[in-house]
Amino acid sequence: MLARFDEPIAAIATAPGRGAVGIVRVSGRNVQPVIDAVCGRALRPREATYLPFRAADGSPIDHGLALHFPAPHSYTGEDVLELQAHGGPVVLQLLLARCLEAGAALGLRVAQPGEFTQRAFLNDKIDLAQAEAIADLIDASTEAAARSASRSLSGDFSREVERLREALVHLRMLVEATLDFPEEDIDFLQQADAQGQLERLQQTLGQLQQRARQGALLREGIKVVIAGQPNAGKSSLLNALAGAELAIVTPIAGTTRDTVQQTIQIEGVPLHVIDTAGLRDATDEVERIGIERAWSEIRQADAVLFLHDLSRREDPLYQAADAAIADQLQRHLGPDVPVLQVWNKTDCIPSANHAGASEDVWLSARTGQGLEALRKRLLQLAGWQAVPEGLFIARERHVRALQEVQAHLTQSAACLQARQPALDLLAEELRQAQQALNTITGEFSADDLLGVIFSSFCIGK
């Protein structure tokens, strides 16, 4: 995103569509000409004023509230004007057009996606992790994700990263000082307990990684694909997990021709569950395409529920088809993708015939028996470990950055523990660890990374 940050910007800051109230936001080094033209009077800082919003000929476009936030005490750190009008899309478009007209001499233009928040970041109002938390709070699909995003927005995650960074900088300082005074070298580092400091760093990092993984799970969730032969009960299982009749269920094999997806939440963790066409050799062209799509979803899954029909368990043909699917799953899936064996239709056979592996799940999608056990196993597959309080939202890029820090600290430990410690290599590994850590809060971030992050925001934010 190649934005010009010396130009003032304007945008509708509320969601598209009709509503009781809509907001038009303007931000720049000086928005006074827009205030004078649209509001027709001076505004007291940070005080809502009810007045008519004027068109170029002086006629009112609408009546509403105007607020002026002088720099630097605003969301973006610049002068900000917010006009709260009635939430009709035509009214808001007229109001935005009037602002652009009034600010034409200033170079006022329509904001790009995320540009208001990007300016807040560039003007040191928030760091990059907090900026991302704003988008995550807006997009939160569960209450737990919203609360965690709010903690990240308030700076909880950033403070954890900063504490780790300060400890890392202190250790770097010791090593760099030793390089400047080589006659002191190892004795100096031993007296300063460099080894102990590094071990404590790794321990703190491990705790932060664990919480970041949980935070990323709250934000991203996992993709769970239900796979199996026709009429195993895949659609019934999706409906049971979702608590709604989302997929068509009939006794006719091949009823499901396309994928059906629903996001459910278990203990606040979003799981994107996908029902797929029954896997078999199909001659019908439509069903064949559905099966191809099923395998496409399976290859992209974070976890697979391999659903079996208990009522056909003793049928040799059914067993052979299940074995063929299991072999294909092994070829299509990576080694880190778990496959959970789920046996459906326990209501159709005696409980004495429910023998199988201890990690398998036995249930009836029709009666709901065993669904709670499946939910618990899904959380285990996701890697969820509930943290009582203080969990912050995180993104996959944060997790990868912390993994990079871990790799550099591991190399640092190897350098320090060598028979002849390579202090120059140790210093370099610590420097790279700090650089990886800095990418989380944006103290070191490439412009293209910023472009990707902020382009995912909505316009007006």
- 365 CB-contact burial (10 Å; exposed 0-12 / middle 13-18 / buried 19+): buried
Please tell me which residue, 32 or 246, carries the higher pLDDT value: 32
Q: What is the DSSP string of 271-304?
A: EEEEE-PPPS---SHHHHHHHHHHHHHHHT-SEE
Residue 266 has pLDDT above 50, yes or no: yes
Residue 461 annotated as lining a ligand binding site = yes
Residue 248 annotated as lining a ligand binding site = no
Given this model, what pLDDT does residue 3 score? Answer: 56
Given this model, what pLDDT does residue 247 score? Answer: 47
Residue 275 annotated as lining a ligand binding site = yes
Given this model, what pLDDT does residue 183 score? Answer: 55
Residue 234 annotated as lining a ligand binding site = yes
Residue 388 annotated as lining a ligand binding site = no
Question: Which residues lie closer than 8 Å to 256 by C-beta, 6 or more apart?
Answer: 234, 235, 247, 248, 275, 276, 277, 278, 290
Residue 276 annotated as lining a ligand binding site = yes
- 451 CB-contact burial (10 Å; exposed 0-12 / middle 13-18 / buried 19+): middle
Provide the percentage of residues in the chain whose pLDDT is more than 90: 52
Given pLDDT bands bounded at 50, 70 and 90, which one contains residue 418?
Answer: confident
Residue 254 annotated as lining a ligand binding site = yes
Residue 365 annotated as lining a ligand binding site = yes
Residue 129 annotated as lining a ligand binding site = no
Residue 25 annotated as lining a ligand binding site = yes
Residue 364 annotated as lining a ligand binding site = yes
| SS3 assignment, position 329 | helix
Beta bridge partners of 95: none
* Alpha carbon distance 130, 112 (integer Å): 19
Given this model, what pLDDT does residue 166 score? Answer: 93
**How many other CB atoms sit within 10 Å of the CB of residue 298?**
23
Residue 231 annotated as lining a ligand binding site = yes
**How many other CB atoms sit within 10 Å of the CB of residue 231?**
21
Provide the percentage of residues in the chain whose pLDDT is more than 70: 89
Given pLDDT bands bounded at 50, 70 and 90, which one contains residue 409?
Answer: very high
Given this model, what pLDDT does residue 198 score? Answer: 92
The residue behind tokens 């057009």 is 97
Least confident of 11-15, 27-31, 351-355, 398-402: 351-355
The CA–CA distances, whole Å, from 401 to 59, 336, 406, 414, 433 equal 55, 20, 9, 20, 9
Residue-range domains of the chain with CATH: 9-126 (3.30.1360.120), 138-217+395-442 (1.20.120.430), 221-382 (3.40.50.300)
Residue 50 has pLDDT above 90, yes or no: yes
pTM for this one?
0.78
Average pLDDT over residues 2-7: 73
Residue 153 has pLDDT above 70, yes or no: yes
Residue 334 annotated as lining a ligand binding site = no
Residue 322 has pLDDT above 70, yes or no: yes
Residue 223 annotated as lining a ligand binding site = no
* Alpha carbon distance 299, 330 (integer Å): 10
Residue 303 annotated as lining a ligand binding site = no
Residue 243 annotated as lining a ligand binding site = no
**How many other CB atoms sit within 10 Å of the CB of residue 277?**
28
Residue 248 has pLDDT above 60, yes or no: no
According to DSSP, the β-strands at 222-228 and 60-69 are unpaired
Mean of the per-residue pLDDT values of the chain? 87
Each residue of 79-128: pLDDT tens digit? 999 999 999 999 999 999 999 999 999 999 999 999 999 999 999 999 99
Given this model, what pLDDT does residue 199 score? Answer: 94
Question: Which residues lie closer than 8 Å to 151 by C-beta, 6 or more apart?
Answer: 157, 390, 391, 392, 393
Given this model, what pLDDT does residue 25 score? Answer: 97
Residue 82 annotated as lining a ligand binding site = yes
Given this model, what pLDDT does residue 59 score? Answer: 95
Given this model, what pLDDT does residue 334 score? Answer: 84
| Alpha-carbon dihedral sign for residues 143, 144, 149, 151 | positive
Given this model, what pLDDT does residue 255 score? Answer: 47
Residue 13 annotated as lining a ligand binding site = no
Residue 252 annotated as lining a ligand binding site = yes
Average pLDDT over residues 133-147: 87
Each residue of 286-311: pLDDT tens digit? 878 888 888 899 999 999 999 999 98
Each residue of 197-222: pLDDT tens digit? 999 999 999 999 988 988 888 888 88
Given this model, what pLDDT does residue 353 score? Answer: 57
Average pLDDT over residues 394-418: 92
Residue 366 annotated as lining a ligand binding site = yes
- Alpha carbon dihedral 122, 127, 129, 135, in 10-degree steps, equals -60
Residue 447 has pLDDT above 70, yes or no: no
Given pLDDT bands bounded at 50, 70 and 90, which one contains residue 182?
Answer: low
Reference 460, options 134, 11, 96; nearest CA is 11
